[in-house]
């Protein structure tokens, strides 16, 4: 697996670490349980990182020196593609030819490296985009920076060269075909999963005690990277609208923002805190850094609902994790979120980013205990449909198909040459 710009060892929720990190980590670990040896290549960001680290039994993470030993913005990483790809090829050169059977690249930067490795090693390239520049640029948040033409061209090249493309949803599959002219036969829609052993229903009062939240509070939570694309500001604006309409909620409302700045959010790291102050809801707003493991489960369990107001999501793992914990989700009706959150079943979809629309949707669930209980029960059932085991099953089937097709193509070319 190639994951150039972010490592599966990093904590999701800040920097460039997010759902893709979880995807790579969970699928690699699950594959290793099936006896598949997995090596994940990522860029070294510190001189203290070992050349090779074990993520889980059967899963190695290779830190490839490419540029300075420090985090780099994605716009800076294109200059390190050559160095990263050279490091990947050198690692393979220490083995006998045919050591690697298949390459799965994640995000377009990794796809560029995978394209060359695939040709050098004579193995198929499977690629997952996770996000697409043309889709993001069509749904930019106000003031957000468009994805550069360099990325658009790079994605087009990877789509054209990959032997197989894995999309998170049928919506993303259609986008690859319509916007990038992908071969429909090469595109496979495979939904991500959720760790159903970790994310489970539990005591809301215990979770609130662990987080220091009042037992009778009305808790609206956001978990994710703090950047315009994820739109946490929409939740703050909606919460302020709720208080204007229902000032009696001021003593009970808690808006929980969990995550750290990344991407264009790094340009104004304090902007969200300043917005809370300007809206007069600083007393109701609580900021927390990204939470690992059990602490993140407590965040979901403690919340009356989790908001996912993103301008674009290829799927939305946070929405699925929250539902697995029995917490309804209010999500924007964009990208893959309608797959992750069936409207009126386990949460609500909002067709706009208007704070008034969001305030109404939030109140519809948070202030109606019976409605919340119904959505909560359905959320657990819905989340059970998704697991990393199921995702991995389908990935391995796709790998087998890609490998078989690749070998047949090689044999046909050899026959023509003869």
Q: What is the pLDDT of residues 325-371, one digit of tens each?
A: 999 999 999 989 999 999 999 999 999 999 999 999 999 999 999 99
Residue 39: closest CA among 98, 111, 92, 113: 92
Q: Is 18 annotated as a binding residue?
A: yes
pLDDT bucket at 15, cuts 50 / 70 / 90: low
Q: What is the mean pLDDT of the chain?
A: 93
pLDDT bucket at 418, cuts 50 / 70 / 90: low
pLDDT bucket at 14, cuts 50 / 70 / 90: low
pLDDT tops 50 at residue 265: no
Q: Is 21 annotated as a binding residue?
A: yes
Higher pLDDT, 152 or 268: 152
pLDDT tops 90 at residue 263: no
Q: What is the pLDDT of residues 277-315, one digit of tens each?
A: 999 999 999 999 988 878 899 999 999 999 999 998 888
pLDDT bucket at 410, cuts 50 / 70 / 90: confident
Q: Is 301 annotated as a binding residue?
A: yes
Pairwise CA distance, residues 138 & 2, whole Å? 27
User: CB–CB of 195/300 below 8 Å?
Assistant: no
* pTM of the model as a whole: 0.90
Q: Is 195 annotated as a binding residue?
A: no
Q: Is 112 annotated as a binding residue?
A: no
Q: Is 327 annotated as a binding residue?
A: yes
pLDDT tops 70 at residue 31: yes
pLDDT tops 60 at residue 239: yes
Q: Is 300 annotated as a binding residue?
A: yes
User: CB–CB of 17/124 below 8 Å?
Assistant: no
> pLDDT at position 75, please?
83
> pLDDT at position 417, please?
66
Q: Is 16 annotated as a binding residue?
A: yes
Is residue 403 exposed (0-12), middle (13-18) or buried (19+ Cβ within 10 Å)?
middle
pLDDT bucket at 409, cuts 50 / 70 / 90: confident
Domains within the chain, CATH numbers bracketed: 19-192+388-417 (3.40.50.2000), 204-383 (3.40.50.2000)
Higher pLDDT, 227 or 246: 246
> pLDDT at position 16, please?
66
Per the DSSP assignment, residues forming a β-bridge with 129 are: none
Pairwise CA distance, residues 70 & 92, whole Å? 25
Q: Is 147 annotated as a binding residue?
A: no
Q: Is 19 annotated as a binding residue?
A: yes
> pLDDT at position 415, please?
72
Helix/strand/coil (H, E, C) string of the chain? CECCCCCCCCCCCCCCCCHHHHHHHHHHHHHHHCCCCEEEEEECCCCCCCCEEEEECCEEEEEECCCCCCCCCHHHHHHHHHHHHHHHHHHHHCCCCCCCCCEEEECHHHHHHHHHHHHHHCCCEEEECCCCHHHHHCCCCCCCCCCCHHHHHHHHHHHHHCCEEEECCHHHHHHHHHHHCCCHHHEEECCCCCCCCCCCCCCHHHHHHHHCCCCCCEEEEEECCECHHHCHHHHHHHHHHHHHHCHHHCCCEEEEEECCECHHHHHCCCHHHHHHHHCCCCCCEEEECCCCHHHHHHHHHHCCEEEECCCCCCCCHHHHHHHHCCCCEEEECCCCHHHHCCECCCEEEECCCCHHHHHHHHHHHHCCHHHHHHHHHHHHHHHCCCCHHHHHHHHHHHHHHHHHHHHHHHHHHHHHHC
Q: Is 74 annotated as a binding residue?
A: yes
Q: Is 131 annotated as a binding residue?
A: yes
Pairwise CA distance, residues 129 & 166, whole Å? 8
Pairwise CA distance, residues 231 & 279, whole Å? 16
Q: What is the pLDDT of residues 163-200, one digit of tens each?
A: 999 999 999 999 999 999 999 999 999 999 999 999 99
């Amino acid at each position: 697996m190639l994951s150039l710009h972010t490592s599966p060892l990093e904590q999701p929720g800040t920097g460039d670490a997010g759902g893709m990190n979880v995807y790579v980590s969970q699928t690699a670990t699950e594959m290793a349980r099936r006896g598949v040896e997995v090596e994940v290549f990522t860029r070294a960001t510190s001189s203290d990182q070992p050349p090779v680290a074990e993520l889980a039994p059967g899963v190695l993470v290779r830190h490839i020196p490419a540029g300075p030993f420090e985090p780099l913005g994605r716009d800076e990483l294109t200059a390190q593609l050559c160095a990263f790809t050279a490091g990947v090829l050198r690692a393979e050169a220490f083995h006998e030819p045919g050591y690697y059977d298949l390459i799965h690249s994640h995000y377009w930067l990794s796809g560029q490296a995978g394209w060359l490795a695939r040709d050098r090693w004579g193995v198929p390239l499977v690629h997952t985009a996770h996000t697409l520049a043309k889709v993001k640029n069509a749904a930019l948040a106000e003031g957000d920076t468009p994805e550069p033409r360099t990325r658009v061209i790079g994605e087009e090249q990877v789509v054209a060269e990959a032997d197989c493309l894995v999309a998170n949803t049928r919506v993303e599959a259609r986008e690859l075909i319509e916007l990038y002219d992908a071969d429909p036969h090469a595109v496979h829609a495979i939904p991500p999963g959720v760790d159903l052993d970790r994310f489970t229903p539990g005591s809301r009062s215990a979770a609130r005690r662990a987080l220091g939240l009042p037992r009778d509070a009305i808790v609206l939570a956001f978990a994710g990277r703090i950047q315009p694309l994820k739109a946490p500001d929409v939740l703050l604006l909606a919460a302020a609208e709720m208080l204007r309409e229902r000032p009696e909620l001021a003593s009970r409302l808690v808006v929980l923002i969990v995550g750290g700045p990344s991407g264009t959010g790094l340009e104004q790291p304090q902007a969200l805190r300043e917005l809370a102050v300007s809206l007069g809801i600083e007393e109701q707003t609580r900021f927390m850094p990204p939470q690992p493991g059990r602490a993140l489960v407590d965040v979901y369990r403690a919340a009356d609902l989790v908001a996912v107001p993103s301008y674009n999501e290829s799927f939305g793992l946070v929405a699925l994790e929250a539902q697995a914990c029995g917490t309804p989700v209010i999500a924007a009706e964009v990208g893959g979120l309608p797959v992750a959150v069936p409207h009126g079943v386990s949460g609500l979809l909002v067709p706009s980013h208007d704070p008034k629309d969001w305030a109404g949707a939030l109140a519809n669930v948070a202030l109606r205990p019976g409605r919340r209980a119904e959505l909560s029960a359905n959320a657990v059932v819905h989340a059970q449909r998704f697991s990393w085991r199921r995702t991995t099953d389908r990935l391995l089937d796709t790998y087998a198909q890609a490998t078989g097709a690749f070998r047949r193509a090689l044999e046909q070319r050899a026959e023509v040459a003869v």
